[in-house]
Amino acid sequence: MQRTLLTLTLAAILASPAVADTVKVENAWVRATAPGQKVAGGFMKLTADADMVLVGGTSPISTSVELHFMRMENGVMEMRQMKEIALPRAKTVSLAPGGFHVMFIGLKGQVKPGQKVPLTLVVKGGDGKEQRLEVAAETRR
Ligand SMILES: [Cu+2]
């Protein structure tokens, strides 16, 4: 009986998954919007502890959340949607105005300074498994 219990415990330990790779999220913020504005940009610093990719997100404040890249091209602001944003191991990737960002599309209301914006980021590790990261972004002007 004792032996069986020990065997089972050992089996449970061996079967338990390894500590998952994760992504540190720092300084997450969303730009405050004007009344009637339908989109908002979200920014943050992301540091993964393994090679991972950011593949999307969701938020209760908008219909959808897209990954975007913005740059100036011949004096014209160009913004395009990205399928994913690479998060190389131990390298801090900045989502910042004028570069990568998340875009809240189809805002359900005005985003006001001081408001906390819940954001769920979806990241994928080398094993292809998706993980959800819960972020509370602050709103700034
Ligand atoms: Cu955008």
Domain total of the chain: 1
Q: Give residue 89 CA to ligand 1 midpoint distance, Å.
A: 25
- Where do the DSSP E strands lie in 3-129? 23-31, 39-48, 52-58, 62-73, 76-82, 85-87, 92-95, 100-107, 116-124
Around ion ligand 1, residues with a beta carbon closer than 5 Å are 68, 79, 103
The CATH number assigned to the domain holding 72 equals: 2.60.40.1890
Q: Give residue 131 CA to ligand 1 midpoint distance, Å.
A: 23
Q: What is the pTM of this model?
A: 0.84
pLDDT value at residue 127: 84
| pLDDT exceeds 90 at position 10 | no
Residue 80 lies in a domain: yes
| pLDDT exceeds 70 at position 16 | no
| pLDDT exceeds 60 at position 1 | no
Residue 126 lies in a domain: yes
Specify the DSSP class assigned to residue 89. Answer: B
DSSP-based three-state secondary structure for 27: strand
Contact of 140 with 29, CB cutoff 8 Å? yes
34-78 pLDDT tens trace: 999 999 999 999 999 999 999 999 999 999 999 999 988 888 989
